[in-house]
């Protein structure tokens, strides 16, 4: 157990908690998506921290895959948000919560 390992892991936990807070508290779907990105980045930081301190490569490989997943998630999510906007609704999570049709 060396050096900055607790620091990296604590920062990762703080970023994840802030991202979760953003998803639950904010009403703008764009900010919610950015908070999800924040949580994915926190996960990446934890993965790479463990890869570095346990001398394994799996963490880095999966961090790369998480980045690809995040990119595709952003593409689909932003397409959905644009679709909602074009249908004339307000961009507000609380207004879109009915899940009807």
Tell me: does residue 93 bind another protein (CB under 8 A): no
Site string for another protein, 58-87 (x = CB under 8 A): x-xxxxxx-xxxxxxxxxx-xxxxxxxxxx
Structure tokens at 60: 């880095």
Within 1-89, residue ranges assigned H as helices are 5-25, 29-53, 58-86
Applying the rule CB under 8 A, the residues between 32 and 61 that interact with another protein are 33-35, 37-38, 41, 44-45, 48-49, 51-58, 60-61
CB of 40 to another protein, least distance (A): 9
Q: Smallest distance, Å, CB 13 to another protein?
A: 4
Reading the block at residue 51, the tokens are 């890869």
Q: Is residue 1 a contact point for another protein (CB under 8 A)?
A: yes
Residue pair 16/43 in contact (Cβ under 8 Å)? The answer is yes
**Residues touching another protein, count (CB under 8 A):** 74
């Amino acid at each position: 157990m060396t050096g900055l390992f607790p620091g990296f892991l604590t920062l990762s936990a703080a970023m994840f908690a802030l991202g979760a807070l953003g998803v639950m508290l904010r009403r703008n779907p764009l900010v919610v998506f950015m908070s999800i990105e924040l949580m994915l980045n926190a996960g990446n930081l934890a993965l790479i921290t463990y890869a570095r301190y346990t001398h394994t490569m799996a963490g880095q490989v999966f961090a790369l895959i998480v980045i690809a997943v995040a990119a595709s998630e952003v593409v689909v999510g932003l397409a959905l948000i644009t679709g909602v906007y074009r249908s004339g609704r307000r961009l507000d999570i609380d207004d879109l919560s009915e899940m009807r049709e």
